[in-house]
Amino acid sequence: MQNYQESFVCCVYNSHFLRYCIQNPADIDWDQYWNPRIYVDNTVDEPQQTVCHSVIYDVNVWEAYIVERHRLKGTFLENLELFHFPFDTQVTSTVIAAE
């Protein structure tokens, strides 16, 4: 079955490089610090994707976390499970992989 859906994926990384320097997120070269290169594996075609980055600082323990958010819209593949037809409910999944 092909199902059009919207998914939201969030990746978090503890960055030792940004720990002691608080920067404006607009000035950060994100590929220099972290790029998880994730993609969705069960799409029919290339999904529409919006990627946002941010940094969360925990000044109590001097930690910095890079957060990468992906909002995906597209057509996803899913197997139909018709055990209780016509009263079935379907759960769709998003298969996420990294290069």
First to last CA, the chain: 26
Report how many domains make up the chain. Answer: 1
Measure the CA–CA gap between 35 and 33, rounded to whole angstroms: 7
User: Could you state, in chain order, the average pLDDT of each consecutive group of 10 residues for the chain (99 residues)?
Assistant: 79 78 71 79 85 85 86 84 80 79
> Which residues form the domain of 53?
2-98
Measure the CA–CA gap between 66 and 56, rounded to whole angstroms: 6
Q: Are 7 and 61 in contact (CB under 8 A)?
A: no
For the entire predicted model, the pTM comes to 0.69
Q: Are 75 and 4 in contact (CB under 8 A)?
A: yes
- pLDDT of 23: 65
Choose among 99, 72, 77, 93: nearest CA to 10: 72
- pLDDT of 8: 84
